[in-house]
Chains A and B, each alone.
Chain A
Amino acid sequence: METTSTNVLVKRYIPAAAEPFYQTYELRFADDMTVLDALTRIKDVQDGSLTFRWSCRMGICGSCAAVVNGKPVLMCQTYMKDVKQPVRVEPLRNFPVVRDLVVDIDDAFEKMRSTMPYIDRMEKRALEDGEYLQTPQERAQINKTSQCIKCMICYSACPVYGLDKNFIGPAAGALAYRYTADSRDQSKDKRLEAVSGEKGVWKCSFVGECSAVCPKRVDPAISLQRLKLMGSLRLGKKAVTGK
């Protein structure tokens, strides 16, 4: 197979070093090689110390997210032939770097946990009464937001999260909307109160970059705006009814 020569610049960080630095690797790539394949090849043949996360290699686990030529992407879904050469690979923005391309995403997961990401039936039903049914139209309401693979690319693109880590962030917003819009859930009011505070959805200024970069087209930006609307209506209802 025909191969093309290129350089891959990787932004590295070794805990013992004071600052991150760029390391250049020479590589030959074929048309079917992804950026992840390129890094794996570099790690196998040239530099075993190069550190990065990966798992499924097919765009479903979200592990291999990184910034390639300035854009946060899944490396396994980005072909070397489709990006400008030489290729520059950096860790996801807005997260602390543990080593090389591995970042600490604990904060983002904590934000997601805070949105009550589960179906909560306030009134239990006996088994004999059957399943909790959902029509195809009701299911369609949560189709997009159910596709989130928690790759954190949206957090990397969000300038609000970059400035203020108190913001719950796009993926947490999409997750909150997914469960709030689920017809089987009965804790919508509790969840809306949880995400409507000062550190919640109202910090979003609708830049829209999260939706632009999402590899699964979850559209977290619209989810956040809808949660703002739902939160406002909930506030109005509370003011009128007291509940």
Chain B
Amino acid sequence: MYEQKQSPFWWTRNPATIIYFLRELTGLFLSGALIYFIVRACLNQNLWFLHSTSSRVVSMVGLIAALIHTITWLWVTVQVTPFDLKKSVQVGGFIVLMTIWLGISYFIFKFLYLSQSLI
């Protein structure tokens, strides 16, 4: 028998798999941004490096990756319930999850990130 090997470029077959691959790749960008900041924080005595251009670029990349990752996964979450939900209920659930996520993000940004004790 002839054993068929999967091509490493299987994900280029159609637009859906390309989007899937890019979505999974956002995890790498997110991790990369986090590692960058941890390393810089360890090497510096303060957090002034956050104002540098390179930090802002890395922040933007991390933010875009986080947005794509979170929005796509929150949309998937409402589709994998153990029971069938109508489309309108799925959309409503997605909006609730997005609202909770935005609320928590706002709280972290306003009361932790903007706090003078951090920068």
Interface of chain B: mostly helix, strand, loop or mixed = loop
Nearest residue, chain B, Cβ from A161: B6
With A94-B4, A96-B2, A162-B10 known as contacts, the answer to whether A225 contacts B80 (CB < 8 A) is yes
Does B79 reach chain A (CB closer than 8 Å)?
A: yes
Q: Do the beta carbons of B2 and A159 come within 8 Å of each other?
A: no
Partner of B17, one of A94, A98, A159, A163: A159
Partner of B79, one of A70, A162, A222: A222
Does B67 reach chain A (CB closer than 8 Å)?
A: no
Does B39 reach chain A (CB closer than 8 Å)?
A: no
A-B contact count (CB 8 A): 51
Q: Do the beta carbons of A229 and B6 come within 8 Å of each other?
A: no
Q: Do the beta carbons of B76 and A94 come within 8 Å of each other?
A: no
Does B107 reach chain A (CB closer than 8 Å)?
A: no
Partner of B82, one of A15, A104, A206, A226: A226
Q: Do the beta carbons of A96 and B17 come within 8 Å of each other?
A: no
Q: Do the beta carbons of A162 and B1 come within 8 Å of each other?
A: no
Contacts of A212 in B (CB 8 A): 16
| Interfacial residues, chain B to chain A (CB-CB below 8 A) | 1-4, 6, 10-11, 13, 16-17, 20, 24, 76, 79-84
Q: A207-B17, A209-B16 are in contact. List 20 more A-B contacts (CB 8 A).
A: A13-B2, A70-B13, A91-B4, A93-B4, A94-B4, A95-B4, A96-B1, A97-B1, A97-B4, A104-B1, A141-B84, A162-B10, A206-B76, A222-B79, A222-B80, A225-B76, A225-B80, A226-B80, A228-B80, A229-B80
